[in-house]
Structure 1
Amino acid sequence: MMNRRDFVKSGAAASVVAMTSISRATPLGLPLGLQLYSVREPLQKDFAGTLKQVGSLGYREVEAAGFYNHSVDDVKAALAAAGLRCVSAHYPLGTLKPQIDQILPFCKSVGVEYVVCSSPMHQNESAGKAELTLDDWRWNADQFNDIAGKVNAAGMHFAYHNHVAEFAETGGALPYEVLLKNTNPAKVNFEMDCGWVIVAGHDPVQYLKQFPTRIVMLHIKDFKDNKPPSVALGNGSIDYKPIFAAAKTGHIRHCFVEQEEFQQPMMEALAIDARYMKAVRS
């Protein structure tokens, strides 16, 4: 007969097994992650409460898209209460460059592993919203090399996150490949947003196979007919099985669901996304 102590031990063990199955029941054997841009509006109103909701859906890692003026202690407490780890944080280059000395200690204290540039900028700030030139992209590569050195010195890694512009031919070249060619492989990593690559008319599998050591994180989103707005995973046209199969041969460290628009209640959609990630197999 099982006594109370054995019962408690068995229950604790079962909880650990269940938690492991939730956190690692993803195609790449990685903890289920969410890019917090997905919940940007509720985060502004209730930071800790929103993180708890995210954690309750089975997500175990998050990638920040701003900390909404919360202190390090507040962020760490909210993450701990939600059972989450913030392993990555996004900043546009226009923020990274002038605020790097404030960003790095904050991120390190929170537990961030990857500081990610979420968008490039013009070399000449007076260019406004004009498309970046080939020289602009080369200049951005130089900035990434410089910033990556500082991020590494602070004990973290640097990565760049793409949108669509990186795959529009510019000056006879693809900006994404210009960035890959002109950045230091030992310092500058890439976070591939698979959805935006497909919207741009390219194949994530090609890049995952061609640059297996440069691409270390993924964004997973879905679209109907391969164009915005985004929909819940499995409700669109993107087949992730070959993408995950290719990713398995590389060096992917983190994988984040991101849904930017919603056709149903937000948390309901994010639950669909979580179930998809647990069910899909390469």
Structure 2
Amino acid sequence: MSTRRDFLRLALGSAAVAGAGGLLTGGTAFADQKRVPPGHIGIQLYTVRSLMADDPQGTLDALAGIGYSTVGVSGLYGHTPQRFRAMLDNAGLRAVLTHLSLDAIRGDWQRELEHAHVLGAESVVVPSLPGSLWTPDGYRQVAAEFNVAGQAAREAGLRFLYHNHDFDFRTVDGRVLYDILLTETDPAYVGFEIDLYWAIHAGYDPVDYFRRYPGRFPVFHVKDRAEDGSFADVGYGTIDFRRIFRQRRWSGVKEYVVEHDQPADPLASARRSYGTLRRLRF
């Protein structure tokens, strides 16, 4: 679609001003504008997975030292929920969400919800769908399952979300798969953790989704895109986060969770991305 190509070209066109924080983090010109609430800047622990495997407490302490207030949990690295929560508490971090597989909601879902409570999470998130379901019928089936799982989560005092990748924006038989989830899930029970990188990488505008489905995106995965399409630290790529964040009332965003899928130096990446979000004004 030409509109998709035009949008992606526009997104990439911001590269000249986005590098090294650039326009995203300008100073006095943005003094009276909004900023990301510091208490709602988090990081998906997938970003530091190599460090978490060897030294989870030290890694969590380092993230807190950078300034992060929250984390998104990506597995427990062999620890019990109780032990993992203790490590978070020791570091002074709060788990705003935990990623759980589709198999988890098809298994002992009540136990998973109990574990999420132990972690202190506010949201339970399905992070991906298997390729066998990448059809309109597959997404309709999943939407029905999400409604049931989401109702149980809400009854347990938790929010149920889905996290997208680029494959969710495939058009199959004339339907964008992601749109099926949005239209066939109940907003009372199912929300979305929108991964800004993957939406833009697929050629779609997150702001368009906020306008079409207001209030359904309480969590942003804040991930930047380099000119060549690879991952970048937040503020050092091509994505115009100021434009996206200005739509906070339409999106319903509450939490801003940094992620980088392939950082060369996880803590250095975490530090650079955090710095951008603290300086950013919109």
Shorter-chain TM-score range? 0.7 to 0.9
* 1:165-187 CA-partner distances (Å, limit 9, x unpaired): 11110110111111111001111
- Aligned residue number for residue 261 of structure 1: 262
- Aligned residue number for residue 215 of structure 1: 217
Matches within 5 A, 1:1-282: 27-29=35-37, 31-121=40-130, 129-130=131-132, 132-225=134-227, 227-228=229-230, 230-263=231-264, 265-282=265-282
- Aligned residue number for residue 3 of structure 1: none
Report the aligned-residue RMSD. 1.8
**Aligned residue-pair number:** 249
Residue 69 of structure 1 aligns to a residue whose secondary structure is: coil
Change (3 A) 1:275 1:161: same
Q: Identity of paired residues, percent?
A: 31
Counterparts of 2:62 and 2:181 in 1: how far apart (Å)?
37
Q: What amino acid is the match of 2:57? A: A
The alpha-carbon deviation at position 113 of structure 1 amounts to 0.7
The alpha-carbon deviation at position 130 of structure 1 amounts to 4.9
The alpha-carbon deviation at position 26 of structure 1 amounts to 8.1
Counterparts of 2:268 and 2:182 in 1: how far apart (Å)?
37
- Aligned residue number for residue 17 of structure 2: none
Q: Which has the larger radius of gyration?
A: 1
Counterparts of 1:153 and 1:130 in 2: how far apart (Å)?
30
Residue 47 of structure 2 aligns to a residue whose secondary structure is: helix
Counterparts of 2:163 and 2:71 in 1: how far apart (Å)?
15
* 1:134-154 CA-partner distances (Å, limit 9, x unpaired): 100100101101111111122
Counterparts of 2:234 and 2:197 in 1: how far apart (Å)?
11
Counterparts of 1:118 and 1:194 in 2: how far apart (Å)?
14
* 1:99-135 CA-partner distances (Å, limit 9, x unpaired): 41321111112211100111124xxxxxxx4561110
* 1:55-95 CA-partner distances (Å, limit 9, x unpaired): 11100011111112212331122111111000100112123
Counterparts of 1:88 and 1:131 in 2: how far apart (Å)?
24
Q: Unaligned 5+ residue runs, structure 1?
A: 1-24, 122-128
RCO comparison, higher one (Cα < 8 Å, 6+): 2
Cα contact 1:28–1:248 (8 A) shared by 2: no
Counterparts of 1:171 and 1:35 in 2: how far apart (Å)?
34
